Amino acid sequence: MKTRNIIMGGVAALALAGSFAAPGFAQYSGNPPQVSTPEEKAQTEQLNAQAQGGTTASPSALNGQGGSTTEPSPENQARQEQYEDQQAQYQQDRARYEAERRHYERNIHRYDEARYYFTDYPHAYPYHYEDAQLRPLYLLAEPSQQLAHAPVEGPDGNWVGRVRNIETALDGRPKRVEIALNHRVSVWVSPTHFRFDAANKILYTDLTRADLWNMPGATYS
C-alpha cells in the first residue's frame, strides 16, 4: 500500500511538471526568441540615454550614417568657390553666344550673294511709277492669280525680286505682298508700294533694292 502511494505521487509530480513546461514549449516551438548581440544591446542603451538627455541629433547621425556638422575645410571651400565661378562664367558665355546667334540669323544680308539670285528675269521695261497704264493693286480682280510669280522692277530699272505670295483681306483686296528677293530671302511689303503692268505682267515698285533688303521682318529659307 505504501509502495502504491509513492508511485502515484511520482506520477502526479510528473504531470504537474508537464503542466508548467507545456505552455513554454508550445510558445517557442515555432519561432524561438530573438536574442540581441552585445553590440546591439550597447547601441540600444546609448540611444535610450541620449533620448533621455534631450539630444537633437538626427536619426542618421545617431546611427553613424553621416550628418556631420563640422565646417568644410579651406580646400573644399576653395573648390566650391571655384566651381561657382566656373558656372557663372559658363552662363555668361552661353548668353553671349545666344545673342550673337540671334544677331547672325537676323542679318539676312549674308544671303545677298550671286548664287541665290534669280536668273530668269525678262527684259526690263523703263517706266514711270505714276504712269496711267500702271494700276494700283487694290483695283485688281483676283490679285493672287494675276500677280503670281510676277517679276518686280525697282525705280532704277533693275529687278529686285519676284512675287511669292499675296495675302488678301476679306473683301479680296491685297493686304500685303510677299516679295522673294532671291531664292533664300523674302519680305512682306504693303501693296501701296506697287503698280501692276497687266500687259507685260510686271510689278513695279517705288522701293529700291536696298530699301527691300533693309525692311524689318525678313524671312529666309
> Which tens digits make up the pLDDT trace of 47-62?
776 655 555 555 555 5
Distance of alpha carbon 27 from its chain centroid, rounded?
A: 64
- Whole-number pLDDT of residue 221: 81
Band of residue 198 on the pLDDT scale cut at 50, 70, 90: very high
Q: What percent of the chain has pLDDT over 70?
A: 70
Give the single-character DSSP code of 72. P
In CATH, which superfamily holds the domain spanning 114-220?
A: PRC-barrel domain (2.30.30.240)
Q: How far is the C-alpha of 2 from the C-alpha of 83, rounded, in Å?
A: 99
End-to-end, the C-alpha distance of the chain in Å comes to 126
* The overall pTM is greater than 0.75: no
